Structures are given as C-alpha cells and as structure tokens.
Amino acid sequence: MATEDGSRGHQGYVTKPFEAYLQQHQNRRMLILACGPWAMLEATVMLCNRYGQRCLVSMENRMGCALGVCLGCSIRVRGEGHAAYERVCTEGPVFWAEHVVWREEANV
C-alpha cells in the first residue's frame, strides 16, 4: 500500500514499493496487470521492461460515445497510418504494454 501523504503504508508513489518487489523477485516470471493514471502506467511499464516482466495495462481514457464512433478515447499504438491508433472503448480497454506508444520517439 502507498499513499502520497504517508497516512497508510509507503509515503510516495506506488512505483517505489513495486520496484522493491520486482527486485526481490527478479528470478520469477510474472504477468503484471496495472490500471491508473497515464504517468503511473508509464512508470510501471518502464519498471516491467527493466525487470523483464510482461505487463497488461487498463487504460482509463474519457469515452464520449463508448461505441467507437467519436474516436475521443483513441490512444497511440505501434502501427502505421490508421493502425497507429486504437480506441480504448472498443479495442481495449486492456492492452499489452509494449503495444502502447508511451512517448513519441524522436525523429532522427
């Protein structure tokens, strides 16, 4: 458990005790399931990558129509053209972490 103010459990972000857990269990294969705000999911995915663990993320985007028509819940994923975006309400809400583009790669 983690709270920002320290009223219960670890004081600070939940990613700190999560990283300690991953360090303690480095030799175990796990499937991590995560939900929460974008920044926390991104930090969780970075930790999973560092420790070689697979991760599924549940995205919490706003959904205007919940039918996939308005495209308001679209997120950037690995792909080209129209395949570079998927709708959280219809293709998700759960995605493999490596499928999501967390930050745009710099054009070199």
**What is the C-alpha to C-alpha distance for residues 76 and 61, in angstroms, rounded to an integer?**
12
The reported pTM is 0.86
Residue 107 lies in a domain: no
Residue 33 lies in a domain: yes
Peptide bond before residue 93 is cis, with ω within 30 degrees of 0? yes
Is residue 66 within 8 Å of residue 89, measured between CB atoms? yes
Residue 105, pLDDT score: 54
Residue 64 lies in a domain: yes
In which domain, by residue range, is 72 found?
A: 2-99
Residue 60, pLDDT score: 87
pLDDT along the chain (108 residues), means of 10: 89 94 95 95 96 96 87 93 92 96 65
Residue 46, pLDDT score: 96
Give the chain's domain count. 1
Residue 104, pLDDT score: 66
Residue 104 lies in a domain: no
Residue 68 lies in a domain: yes
DSSP 9: S
Residue 27 lies in a domain: yes
Residue 7, pLDDT score: 93
Is residue 95 within 8 Å of residue 56, measured between CB atoms? yes
Residue 53 lies in a domain: yes
